[in-house]
With several copies, the nearest count.
Chain A
Amino acid sequence: MDLKELKELISLMDDAKLSEIELEEDGRRIRLKKASAEPIVIAPIAAGQNETVANTASQAAASEKNNALHHQVTSPIVGTFYTAASPNTDPYIALGDLVKKGQVICIVEAMKLMNEIESDIDGRIVKTCVEDGAAVEYGEALFLIEPA
């Protein structure tokens, strides 16, 4: 390895916004690190397992948050999500519907009580994030709404 090679690596680092490069030739070890990347992953995270529906849902919800164009309506309580007031009635809303702020858009049942969840924005429903009858956590995304 000569200095020229090293300089090339450094310019590579800058171009690619890397904070770290590690090479090893024979055992073929490479390690690149982005400047923005989270520093040092803490291992115990890899060890536990969480298998709930609720959890998977919340992870999905997290990824939805990246979709910054859409407004998220989240569950203010823990409970069971229903699209309609009862099995015999129509769902409050359908995909593509326009909704008004304050309009009831679903039910979350908790402790035998039906809690009406209202939209907190005017807009168009672009996604239902949870299936009818599924358990929802606090803060879990229920709908995505394209603001009017």
Chain B
Amino acid sequence: MFRKILIANRGEIAFRIIRACRELGVKTVAIHSEADADSLHVRFADESVCIGPADPAQSYRNIPNILSAAEITGAEAVHPGYGFLAENAHFADVCESAGIKFIGPLPECISMMGDKAKARDIMAKNGVPIIPGSEGILSGENEGFELARKIGYPVIIKAVAGGGGRGMRVVHEETGFSAAFHAAQSEAGSAFGNDGVYLEKFFIEPRHIEIQILADDKGKMIYFPERDCSIQRRHQKLVEESPSPVVDDRLRRELGKAATAAVTASRYVNAGTVEFLLDRDHNFYFIEMNTRIQVEHPISECVTGIDLVKEQIKIASGKPLSIKQSQVKLNGHSFECRVNAESPVTFRPCPGKITAFHVPGGPGIRVDSASYMGSVIPPHYDSLVAKLIVHDQTRDEAIAKMKGALSEFVIEGIETTLPLHKRIFEDPSFIKGRFSTTFLDHFLENSKT
């Protein structure tokens, strides 16, 4: 086991990693920007080093200063957390060159998964279902038309250079294809100066389902029961749960098999997450693989009793994975609410000083946070104030528990998403488990009127 680990992150995830290290008997080095000198991750680490000004480019993304900090403190490994340098292959690479273990997969693996087209390609070759569509730019209307017929409507035509909905058309029937194709092409041409378009199957109300995995460097791996992260706004997850209300044991095993194939194909080591789209007929398709610990990892910990961060560190230190797949048992139901310092209506970030902070407690309640009364949410970083996680025997009980916990949670001085979380947990469709990735947009739209 390592004697000392440097945590190349801040906020709740840095504190989470410090807690894991403490329990493993590993010393910790916190790094921090000048804005974070009073942060809990700094106060609870064994050592700390200021590595730059508030601007993350000059501090938490400042590779030379972070490596120097590891060198002057004698840290043997670096845990990158999530965000910042967590999926930066170059950072993983220079860590290894400097003789410091990067707690995560190999740099090659990070690179590969960072290139979405390459990742998709590898998955397809290894039997992981990918979203059906064209391989690159369509040569013309005919190719698109034939392909659409083959994969079935609805389909979506997208500009290769695109973004923000421009040069994009959803086509529901054959009769509309031609017009949509030309509209997308000409819009793409005028908007991006590149009229190349490609085609993909379009999903109506899909769910975001992801599979957490752990793999050691001896070829052993396990997968976890799925997380349903469909409650999101502009790809920012707000509420996550495990298991998904629509996944049964059979589908769970299939997802696990696909995740296993993805891990094997990429020679993945350490903790990772394979993300899938699940359509209304319960077909699933690979989206991408996240090569790091995720914000929502606690719900997987709650339903399995496995500490993912401790396992990450053990794996990185060269220990073989001690948990067998048969020991990964789904126990109960867990939800996570990401409480952000944001307006619950406009989602405008609301940094500032927390003037009152009282967390819920009691059975089945977990709070991961680096906030305290008097602490400041700086404007420079993400707006996560606390993760509120509940665990109970059934989904209904977990919902009741979350409602109670939300009512107990007091954060004053800044606006937070707590009021929105309360409303989501009162929503009949949410309570019934009937939702997709479009839920939150509709929900917010409806609540305006």
Contacts and interface: CB of A to CB of B under 8 A. Distances in A.
Classify A-B as touching or not with yes or no (CB < 8 A): yes
Contact of B412 (A41, A48, A77, A136): A41
B335 to A, nearest CB: 20
A43 B49 contact: no
A40 B411 CA distance: 14
Interface stretch (B59-67, B110-118, B280-288, B310-318): B59-67
A142 B52 CA distance: 15
B357 A43 contact: yes
Contact of A54 (B44, B72, B374): B72
A125 interface: no
B45 interface: yes
Contacts of A42: 356, 358, 372-375
A78 interface: yes
B180 interface: no
B309 to A, nearest CB: 19
A111 B44 CA distance: 27
B40 interface: yes
Nearest to A136: B72
Given A135-B73, A138-B51, A138-B52, A79 B357 contact: no
A148 interface: no
A101 B7 CA distance: 37
A44 interface: yes
A139 B49 CA distance: 10
A128 interface: no
A110 interface: yes
Interface residues of A, number: 28
Interface string B32-76: 001000101011111111111100000100001111110111000
Interface in A35-79: 40-52, 54-55, 58, 77-79
Given A80-B72, A111-B98, A135-B73, A45 B49 contact: no
Given A78-B68, A79-B72, A47 B410 contact: yes
Contacts of A139: 34, 50, 52-53
A110 B49 CA distance: 14
Contacts of B71: 79, 110-111
B146 interface: no
A118 interface: no
B429 interface: no
Mostly, the A contact residues are loop
Contacts of A55: 47-49
Size range of the chain B interface in the assembly: 35 or more
B43 A111 contact: no
Contact of B65 (A47, A50, A135, A138): A138
Interface in B270-326: none
B355 interface: yes
Contacts of B45: 48, 50
Contact of A51 (B46, B355, B356): B46
A52 B34 CA distance: 17
Contacts, number: 122
A90 B408 CA distance: 48
A137 interface: yes
Interface in B345-387: 355-358, 372-375
B407 A47 contact: yes
Contact of B358 (A43, A50, A78, A137): A43
Contacts of B69: 78, 137
Interface in A112-148: 135-140
Contacts of B356: 40-43, 46
Contacts of A78: 49-51, 64-66, 68-69, 72
B372 to A, nearest CB: 4
Contacts of A49: 43, 46
A28 to B, nearest CB: 14
Given A41-B356, A41-B412, A44-B43, A54 B407 contact: no
A58 B72 CA distance: 15
A64 B317 CA distance: 41
A136 to B, nearest CB: 8
A78 B47 CA distance: 14
Contacts of A44: 40, 43, 358, 372, 374-375, 408, 410
Contacts of A111: 64, 67-68, 71, 98
B48 A50 contact: yes
Contacts of A80: 72
Interface in B109-162: none
A50 B42 contact: yes
Contacts of B374: 40-45
19 contacts: A41-B355, A41-B356, A42-B374, A43-B372, A43-B411, A44-B358, A44-B408, A46-B356, A50-B43, A77-B64, A77-B65, A78-B64, A79-B71, A110-B64, A111-B71, A135-B49, A137-B49, A139-B50, A139-B52
Interface of A: 40-52, 54-55, 58, 77-80, 110-111, 135-140
Given A52-B47, A138-B52, 5 more contacts: A49-B43, A77-B64, A110-B67, A111-B68, A137-B69
Interface of B: 29, 34, 38, 40, 42-53, 59, 64-69, 71-73, 98, 355-358, 372-375, 407-412
